[in-house]
């Protein structure tokens, strides 16, 4: 069964500094997709970044980048130049496709606090 | 650009009552998903539609839960005989490609 583990329930970072959120996953598939979603307080889930497993290059979106280690089944998110608006719950997710169906499997999330 | 919308945003109901939630996906998105999120947890998959066909229903969905997507447009999620354990945020997401899901704001259900 595919599982996603986020081992850091909470993290904090100073404004303008860099922070890395960890995620590991378990799968027997060779081709898959991974995602990081952001959920600000009382607001909806927003897609931050995605990574295709067949791509060796790590995905980057502005201040957000990932460190994808396929062999280690690790998928961490790095936020550079942290801003107050980055404060949110961050969820790592794995896209599971099976038998004509598809879904996201989420970790439990990491609450990120940005200190001014 | 109209995103995924969900109604109502909040619902308070008494145990034993029936409730229905609605989700309107992004226009032309043929894939629609329902998730449930409880406090301190990540979303958990409930069900998946491709067009009007319900292709998967999670074991989390007991017989009291039913979802529909008539004509492959909006979707409804109904909970019959609500229980306190049904209290949660119910999230809807839609997708065109299946590789990126766009979420709505959710419906927060409180069962008293």
Q: Which of A35, A103, A109 sits opposite B33 (nearest CB)?
A: A103
Closest to A8 (Cα-Cα) out of A20, A25, A26: A20
Q: How far apart are CA B35 and CA B49, in angstroms?
A: 12
Q: Which of B3, B42, B104 sits opposite A91 (nearest CB)?
A: B42
What residue of B is the nearest CA neighbor of A104?
Answer: B45
Partner A contacted by B25 (CB < 8 A): no
Partner A contacted by B60 (CB < 8 A): no
Per-residue pLDDT of A30-63, as tens digits, reads: 889 999 999 998 888 999 999 999 988 999 999 9
Per-residue pLDDT of A27-37, as tens digits, reads: 888 889 999 99
Per-residue pLDDT of B3-59, as tens digits, reads: 999 999 999 999 999 999 999 999 999 999 999 999 989 999 999 999 999 999 998
Whole-number percent of chain A with pLDDT over 90: 81
Q: Residues of B with CB below 8 A from A90's CB?
A: none
The per-residue DSSP string of A44-96 comes to: --EEEEEEETT--SPPEETTEEEEEETTTTEEEEEE-S--GGG-EEEEEEEEE
């Amino acid at each position: 069964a595919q599982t996603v583990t986020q081992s850091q329930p909470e993290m904090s970072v100073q404004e303008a500094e860099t922070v890395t959120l960890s995620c590991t996953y378990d799968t027997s598939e060779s081709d898959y997709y991974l995602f990081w979603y952001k959920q600000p307080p009382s607001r909806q889930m927003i897609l931050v970044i995605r990574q295709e497993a067949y791509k060796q290059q790590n995905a980057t979106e502005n201040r957000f980048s990932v460190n994808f280690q396929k062999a280690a089944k690790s998928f961490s998110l790095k936020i550079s130049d942290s801003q107050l608006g980055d404060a949110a719950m961050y969820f790592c997710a794995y896209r599971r496709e099976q038998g004509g169906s598809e879904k996201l499997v989420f970790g439990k999330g990491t609450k990120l606090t940005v200190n001014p | 650009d109209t995103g995924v919308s969900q109604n109502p945003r909040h619902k308070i109901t008494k145990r034993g009552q029936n409730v229905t939630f609605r989700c309107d996906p992004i226009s032309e998105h043929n894939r629609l998903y329902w998730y449930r999120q409880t406090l301190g947890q990540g979303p958990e998959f409930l069900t998946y539609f491709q067009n009007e066909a319900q292709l998967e229903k999670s074991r989390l969905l007991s017989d009291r839960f039913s979802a529909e997507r008539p004509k492959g447009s909006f979707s409804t999620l109904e909970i019959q005989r609500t229980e306190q354990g049904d209290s949660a945020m119910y999230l809807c997401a839609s997708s065109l490609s299946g590789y990126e899901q766009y979420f709505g704001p959710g419906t927060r259900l409180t069962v008293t």
